[in-house]
Structure 1
Amino acid sequence: MKFFATILVGASALAIAAPGSAQRLGSERPKDAKPDVGRTTTTSATTTTGRKLNISKEAQKAIVELQNAVNTNDTANIPAKLAAAQAVAKTADDKYFIAINQVKAAVAANDAIALKAGVEAMEASGGADPADLSARFTDLGKRLQTAGQMDAAAQAYQKAVGFDSANPSTLALFASLREKQGQKAEAVSLMQKSFAASKAKGTKVAENNFKFAAGLAYNMRSPAAIDIAREWIAAYPSTTSWRDGLRIYRDISAAKGAQLADTMRLARAANALSGESDYFALANALVSDGALVEAKAVLAEAAKAPGVDVSKQSFKGLAAQAAKAPAAAAVDASAKAALASGDATALIDAGDSLFGAGSYAQAAKLYRAAVPKDANLANLRLGMALARAGDKPGAEAALNAVTGPSQSLARFWLLWLATRN
């Protein structure tokens, strides 16, 4: 079972594949227990999880006959042998082992309905281990889903999760079904639980699973998309994950003004700018925010980037505005005046000019001076400047101090900082 979804992030499309576990589990089956009570006189057998079974003397003959019929695929006699064994079963282990053979016969016959009856008999026997039942119900759910019996498959997955709520593959499979059923919010929640379960087990989540969950959440405009994007980048940092992850953040948070400029600054720091739309978005955000020195530098960078034609009228308009950027001497003079005045707006504006010129350490001095008067914006910019200057401890301290609406973006900057050597 495979499915694909597409989300539009900004001007580009991101292909979202089915969870990796949903693709892999299609060929997996829980191993059936294979105690050979027919070849010995012992009444012991072993479950799939290693627990020994004690088969009663009263049921042993009928169970052996059932097992032989199943092992030789004697389909004509299996129903009668099954009924006979069920009639004389005394203990939980008797019933459980009979159900194991019932399941094995159903798998061989590729009969999902018979398999459902067998797995439910295993559960009813009282002799099955929770881990075994979780695996059985997961496999049952997958087979029922493949057969198009979606409601029955959902019930099977629900049972599986009930027996093991921390199985990443089961949770991902259940999520893929809920997505098919149109229950997108539950699908996202299940995927997030799958991620948490993988983390707890120390296993890495397949990248497609992050993409799948991010796509679902994005299409619903759910804030969960931002958290998933951050997890995706953390697990698979690349220009692609940074570009798409920040676009998800930008769209879901409806970033504009200074927030948009700071988001695009991070995309630039992560080397995640690609094509005219990205460079235009950053340059336009900087011009709109009054950061003309940086806008001029970005446009110069865009002129050298592949696939970017800065001779287009849209870029020319931005270039005309960026040409008004103050010279280095004027920037230095503004910085001195801002420090002397102590005005928060002047300090941040002067810091932005130094930041745009690549003088990150000098910019940090002005942002730090503005912290007492505009803590969140000043700490965010201070953290950004220190991060670009290579002061990791200082950047972490400033970014961790950011609260309110800017905190989510600060966490993305912290994530970028964590990837730096």
Structure 2
Amino acid sequence: MKILSKLAVAALLTTSVGGLTVAAPAVAQKKDEQKGGLKLSKPVAAIAKSAQDAIAAKNFAVADPILVQVETLATTDDDKYIAAALRYDYENQKLAAAQAANPKAPLDQTSLAKPLDALIAAKNTPAADRGKYLYRRGQLASIGGQFQVATQYYQQAKAAGYNDPEFELQLIKTKFQSGDVTGGLTDLEAEVNKQEAAGTKAPEAYYRYAIAQANQKQLKPQTMTWLKKYITAYPTTANWRAILITYGLQPTSVVKLDKSQSIDLFRLLRASGSLADQALYEEYAQSVYDRGLPYEAQAVVREGQASGKLPATSSSAKAIATDSATAIREEGSLTAQEKKAALAKDGKLASQVGDAYLGQGNYAKAIELYRSALTKGGVATDEVNTHLGIALARSGDKAGATTAFASVTTEPRAGIAQLWSTYVTVGSTPSAPGAPS
């Protein structure tokens, strides 16, 4: 009987198939490799090398009938292992050749399943290779939409000691694909935390994927958690804009906001420097004007024009600016309204005047009026505390702002307050040139 080295049998031939890195065993017949080798029956030993040579030469028409003979003649465990190894190599090389010939064509990789199953089951498959084959089998199951089966293979590969830079992510993604979004989010969070503990930062794609998956399943608490995680890790102006729009400024948002609540997200867009274009400026200005806040509407239009993002030719902006100036003249002095608020039985007027001062950028006065409104009572406490927190944040009082935002407890204002509180903590940084808006 011929003796083949286990080291030679376990040698890896790496090829790119379907965008994945896969491994296939090779066969050698050197007599000096006898120690620790595999013992093949004479019929198999006589033709195994011919099969390998034909596969290596990509002469598949010659290799296939020889392989059929090897498989037919295989009787011992070693024979069966070699037959499976050669068949896997053959199918793998055929796929690689097909991909090279037509890179854009889809590849049917199901032909790998049978030899992989044989290699996984073979008694003589080296322990170091069994995990690789289990992982590859999991990939095939995933490609075929058998996500729960894929997860089982991946878990077996992990138990077999398989290790790959993308292994954990592949396992996590498969959990999502199998429908276990909650479990996938938990595992992805653990992966992000592990990378942070190692002194690195997880890629932005991890956070975006988690947000998309959680939001698609309408898991509002989890979506909110990942929105905050993302902006804490990557607080760019482009990302602030993305998470605020995702949270409450589009039809598919995490929450449905009324106009007053939406304005507080627009205020955060403004504070974080994330008002990116004409449409956002005009919508913000129109919203605050419609809420009876002409000072803020006027300030937003002027700021947008000064930044160049709101064209001077915008008819909408011109109309808002004109209407706001008229409303300011008709309202008269805020000082007079402030005196009326001080004499009022409840805090409603004080809150409204505080909003006007907030729009003016007179944060000290706004803070004073909001606190008076809370003391007098008769107001929507969560709304007033949100506005108090905004005024404190814009004035630079981070500790006071954080306390005010923490007192907001009912949704969806609690979520708005959490996003503002996150901004107080992490701020915002300019987006890189060319970043998506």
**Common fold, TM-score beyond 0.5?**
yes
Alignment match of 2:260 (pick from 244, 258, 261): 258
Partner of 1:198: 191
Distance 1:278 1:302 in 2: 10
Matched residue of 1:29: which SS? strand
Partner of 2:234: 236
Q: Which runs of 5+ in 2 are unaligned?
A: 1-15, 56-62, 96-107, 160-166, 429-437
Cα distance in 2 for partners of 1:196, 1:80 equals 51
- 1:396 aligned to 386, 402, 406, which one? 402
Which position in structure 2 is the counterpart of 1:268? 270
Q: Which amino acid is 1:136 matched to?
A: R
The code of the aligned residue for 1:89 comes to D
Q: 1:315 aligns with which of 314, 317, 323?
A: 317
Q: Distance in 2 between matches of 1:352 and 1:302?
A: 20
Give, in whole Å, the separation in 1 of the partners of 2:309 and 2:425.
30
- 1:183-222 correspondence runs (5 A): 186=179, 192=185, 195-202=188-195, 204-208=201-205, 210-211=207-208
Which structure's relative contact order is higher, taking Cα pairs within 8 Å and 6+ residues apart?
1
Matched, 1:346 2:349: yes
Cα contact 1:402–1:410 (8 A) shared by 2: yes
The answer to whether 1:355 aligns with 2:358 is yes
The residue number in structure 1 matching 2:163 is: none
Deviation at 1:413, TM superposition (A): 1.4
What residue identity is the alignment partner of 2:420? W
Question: CA–CA distance in 2 between the matches of 1:295 and 1:68?
Answer: 82
Question: Is residue 230–residue 412 contact of structure 1 (8 Å, CA) maintained in 2?
Answer: yes
Whichever residue aligns with residue 169 of structure 1, its letter is Q
Q: Which letter maps to 2:76?
A: V
> Could you say if the C-alpha distance between residues 314 and 34 of structure 1 is closer, same or farther in structure 2, counting changes exceeding 3 Å?
same
Contact 2:385 2:404 in 1 (8 A): yes
Structure 1 pair 397–84 and aligned structure 2 pair: CA distance change class (3 A): farther
Match of 2:333 in 1: 330
Instruction: Tell me the TM-score normalised to structure 2 length.
Output: 0.66
Quote how far apart the aligned CAs of 1:302 are. Answer: 2.2
Q: State how far apart, in whole Å, the 2-side matches of 1:342 and 1:64 are.
A: 101
* Identical pairs, percent: 23
| 8 Å Cα contact 1:69/1:78 also seen in 2 | no
| Structure 1 position 397, deviation (Å) | 2.6
- How far, CA to CA, are the matches of 1:118 and 1:270 in structure 2? 57
The amino acid across from 1:297 in the alignment is A
8 Å contact kept, 1:58–1:89: no
Contact 1:294–1:353 (CA under 8 A) maintained in structure 2? yes
TM-score by length of structure 1 reads 0.68
From the CA coordinates, give the structure whose radius of gyration is larger. 2
In the TM superposition, residue 256 of structure 1 has moved relative to its aligned partner by 2.3
| Gap change, CA 1:89 and 1:356, over 3 Å in 2 | same
Distance 1:354 1:141, change over 3 A: same
User: In structure 1, the residue corresponding to 2:33 is in which secondary structure?
Assistant: coil
Structure-1 separation of matches of 2:82 and 2:329: 83
CA displacement at 1:131 relative to structure 2: 5.6
* Alignment match, 1:249: 247
How many residue pairs get aligned? The number is: 367
Give yes or no for contact 2:148–2:175 (8 Å, CA) kept in 1: no
Root mean square deviation, CA, Å: 4.4
Q: Distance in 2 between matches of 1:193 and 1:255?
A: 28
Q: Equivalents in 1 of 2:17, 2:171: separation in Å?
A: 9
**Distance across 2 between alignment mates of 1:375 and 1:25:** 60
Question: 409, 414, 417: which is aligned to 2:416?
Answer: 409
Q: Secondary structure at the match of 2:333?
A: helix
